[in-house]
Amino acid sequence: MEHFNAFIDDLRSSHGKNLVSVVLYGSAAAGDYVPRRSDHNILVVLEKIGPDDLRLAHAASREWNRIGNPTPVYFTASEIQNAGDVFPIEFHQMKTARRVLYGPDLLAGVEISGSFLRLQTEFELRSKLIRLRRRYISVSTSPDALVSLMVESISSFAALFRAVLILNGIDPPATKHEIVALTSKHIGISNEPFEKIFDIRENKSSEAIDESSANRLFGEYITQIEGVIDAVDRLEK
């Protein structure tokens, strides 16, 4: 918590009265943080955001970035209230797993549209699957690179699976493991490849991964992802 306090002090010093709220969201807020794998995701809300305000953000973020954290996401207070239809997945994730570090909880009153949520969920799932296939072409002969690709991508798919559960009227659990397992069960796909990748991600697997087994796991992985996309597509129909 000490490094959060130091960062908030830097934000207050940089932005002064223009600073409205600071929110921690994602894995760290949900209790699903994995050291050296997960990020401390921060939402910074200002009253107004112009070039001068963003230049001021550089000084506040410099030390935060230096210790390995990503640059915060900046919104104005009015954008928080009006952008739920454009970013329904991101806003729902923030609403579900968040800890307000400074100021009021502006996310509490944000409304999420089900139709916009379904559209963005399918778009994001298909886009990430296409990128996954493209990246596979260059790493398919390297077990280490292929494993890294799966480990790096699973968090993004887990975040989207949270939206899939919401679309099916299911209250998502907090952790990525639980979200993926519940999605797999509800849709009727295999959770096994996801669990194998999670185990590798969290250094729980002692199984040696050679080129053949890495490619086999990747094939199982994208097959289940395709099953989720088909299920989301059927929701519209």
CATH tag, 2-109:
3.30.460.10
Domain 114-236 = CATH 2.60.40: no
Domains of the chain: which residue ranges? 2-109, 114-236
Residue 161's pLDDT is: 95
Mean pLDDT (the chain) is 87
Query: Is the pLDDT confidence value at 101 over 60?
Result: yes
pLDDT digits (tens, 9 = 90+) for 177-236: 999 999 999 999 999 999 999 999 988 766 778 999 999 999 999 999 999 999 999 987
Spacing of C-alpha 10 from chain mean position: 25
Pick the more confident residue, 83 or 81.
Answer: 81
Pick the more confident residue, 175 or 83.
Answer: 175
**What are the CB-based long-range contacts (under 8 Å, 24+) for 203-208?**
none
Pick the more confident residue, 169 or 84.
Answer: 169
Distance separating alpha carbons of residues 231 and 237, to the nearest angstrom: 10
- Give residues with Cβ within 8 angstroms of 70, minimum separation 6: 39, 40, 41
**Topology match between the domains 2-109 and 114-236:** no
pLDDT digits (tens, 9 = 90+) for 109-130: 777 767 788 888 999 999 999 9
Distance separating alpha carbons of residues 230 and 103, to the nearest angstrom: 41
Residue 152's pLDDT is: 94
pTM value surpassing 0.85: no
